[in-house]
A = this chain, B = another copy of it.
Amino acid sequence: MDSHGKTHQKEQQDDVISPKPVTLSKYSNRVELKTLLERSDGGARLAGKRVVIGGWVKSSRAVKKDSPPPPPPPPSSVTVPPPSTSKSNVSCTEIIQSKMSIFRKLFDVLSGGGKTTYPIFDKPEVTGGQKATSPPEYIIYFLISDGSSVCSLQVVVDSTMSSIPATQLMSLGTCIVAEGVLRQPLAASTKHVIELEAEKLLHVGTVDPEKYPLSKKQLPLHLLRDFSHFRPRTTTVGSVTRVHSALTLASHTFFQSNGFQYVQVPVITTTGFGEMFRVTTLSGDETDVKEEKKHDGISIDTVKAAIKEKSRLIDQLKRSDSNREAVVAAVHDLKKTTDLAAELEKKQKPKAVTLIKPDVSKDFFGCDTYLTVSGRLHLESYASALGKVYTFGPRFRADKIDNARHLAEMWNVEAEIAFSELDGAMDCADEFFKFLCKYLLETRHEDMKFISKRVDKTVTTRLGTTASNSLLRFSYTEAITFLQKATTRTFETKPKWGVALTEEHLSYLTDEICKGAVIIIHSYPKEVKPFYTRLNDDKKTVAAFDLVVPKVGVVISGCQNEERFEILDARIKELGSISREKYEWYLDLRRHGTVKHSGISLRMEHMLLFATGLPDIKDAVPFPRSWGKANN
């Protein structure tokens, strides 16, 4: 639970009395910078200790050995240029100036929008034409980060330690493993408490600055995402990853400490709803296709069948968890098909040809299989035996949507609770959500401080307020009333009882009315919620809720599940005959030993957006998968 936070505080207290010894990082022969720098004294009393450290160059600066030492760079991840004095420094600054807009743009992104900071390299003199018999000697001041912490360590290196030219050593992103002695910085003006005087360079992994995207190319935001394999080297993405990591452990800790069992639900499924990805081993070659007689061109019958199917899908979409864009896209698609039908009506008698289609009986599983949309159905079968269960895994949507809140692959934490009704699920969502906020504040103090400095100033306050207060709860009907009262505001979708709340509605309710997270209890018309949601006594609405937060929208959704066989059976029948067969196993859970139960689903990526204030989900996830984009 909060043991990490408490341990951290305790360590800091102990540290005041006698400095914690420096310990090697497990499984790697070096000391993690976190253990040097995240101390109550900033590491001051470690002066004189010999250590090996490793990391990547965040910034660097060199002075000729015969020059007076410059003031070392301040302890941020980027350095501010000092007043130039020497000729070489001037020309270097000129080079840098010409690239300033690129750097500024890049670093605005990477450091979260700071306007006045950018990287500067005081490069050793390399121009001039004349060849020196021995290369000039420099003292290089590096800021090195190893990702264990927000902080960087200043490492002082004599250029003669390496045969690699100083210019190359100094490139942003170079990997350096150095052995040396910790000391208090020589220059009095520095903000560093401690620095490493390197005695040996044990490893150098160079960078080709011409090709390294983080140092050179002028990349707009969306192209920077094409280099997702380099992004964690930026301080912001490093912090976001550590926050993500904490949220993951916190989720497991919360559920297990409350008596839930983790259940591994399948990723490949035979059921689902909405737009799904198909999983197949068929390659389309002659061994795994079957022939179908078909008309040349598109026949009117095919189009009519498509219209019927697409209409059914739209109904299904509306009934499922799909968001509004998906429904709109589907309706738009249907419109195009209807237009095509009208056009075809004018033409006549197409001739027959042979169409070759995949033969699913020859596929790996011998049936149609998809990537899972939700693990809750499978989880229910374990809740109907073990009582309280949860899972954490990837969920997939093939909706052709590309926006800042949607990805094709996202991870959910899902839980199912037997012997529980809607209130139980709401309490669980409420406490889980607050636990996550509290956990971050307690265990990711440095990262949250950095994120609130660079990404979103309100983020720590927001987490603190959320963690320590009861969440507001109101009904869907009340929500509609609030929206209707908003006379100064016009909504694209007019709020009236019966319509699904849109992103715009949710944003108004959380950002402007409640100014914080709320739980909206959906006594919703049953048609707009998934088929497994429990029907209320009025036979028109269902028992569901959403936990909605400002700017992001729904973070947790939950519902009481329909435990009554007849009602569930009727709702599944509405999905069509194929679905009915696929859901037989699910109906079995109500046929035999049915129990009242409810469940929740947390969207991890949306939680991360809430916790960090990042505006786009593609920057929050290590390797985002979206419509038309899968890079590696």
Contacts and interface: CB of A to CB of B under 8 A. Distances in A.
A259 B26 contact: yes
A419 interface: yes
Contact of A174 (B245, B408, B593): B593
Given A211-B592, A249-B256, A267-B267, A417 B27 contact: yes
B387 A28 contact: yes
A593 B148 contact: no
Contacts of A205: 563, 592-595
A280 interface: yes
Given A147-B387, A284-B358, A382 B252 contact: no
Given A29-B419, A175-B593, A595-B175, A263 B586 contact: no
Given A207-B593, A424-B28, A630 B270 contact: yes
A378 interface: yes
Interface stretch (A72-80, A101-109, A230-238, A463-471): A230-238
A258 interface: yes
Of A26, A244, A270, A585, the most chain B CB neighbours within 10 A belong to A26
B364 A28 contact: no
Nearest to A432: B27
A3 interface: yes
Contact of A261 (B245, B259, B627): B245
A621 interface: yes
A482 interface: no
Nearest to A35: B259
Contacts of A25: 259, 387-388, 419
Nearest to A624: B266
A329 interface: no
Interface string A395-417: 01010100000001101000001
A27 B427 contact: yes
A158 interface: no
Contacts of A388: 25-28, 148
A599 to B, nearest CB: 10
A503 interface: no
Contact of A56 (B357, B424, B593): B593
Contact of A365 (B283, B378, B629): B629
A630 B261 contact: no
Of A207, A278, A630, the most chain B CB neighbours within 10 A belong to A630
Given A242-B261, A622-B263, A592 B386 contact: no
Contact of A54 (B249, B271, B382, B595): B595
Given A27-B420, A259-B148, A593-B175, A385 B284 contact: no
Contacts of A245: 256, 261-263
Interface string A251-282: 01100101101111111111100011111111
Interface stretch (A91-99, A134-142, A317-325, A366-374): A366-374
Interface string A532-576: 000000000000000000000000000000010000000000000
A19 to B, nearest CB: 19
A621 B264 contact: yes
B386 A238 contact: yes
8 contacts: A28-B419, A211-B592, A238-B386, A265-B622, A270-B631, A378-B632, A393-B393, A585-B632
Interface of A: 3, 25-30, 32, 34, 54-57, 146-148, 173-175, 177, 203, 205-208, 211-212, 227-230, 232-233, 238, 241-242, 244-245, 248-249, 252-253, 256, 258-259, 261-271, 275-284, 286, 298, 302, 355-358, 364-367, 369, 371, 378, 381-382, 384-388, 393-394, 396, 398, 400, 408-409, 411, 417-420, 424-425, 427-428, 563, 582, 585-586, 588-589, 591-596, 604, 621-623, 625, 627-632
Given A27-B425, A29-B420, A241-B261, 14 more contacts: A25-B387, A27-B424, A34-B259, A57-B593, A147-B261, A205-B594, A227-B588, A252-B252, A269-B630, A270-B632, A278-B279, A279-B279, A365-B628, A369-B630
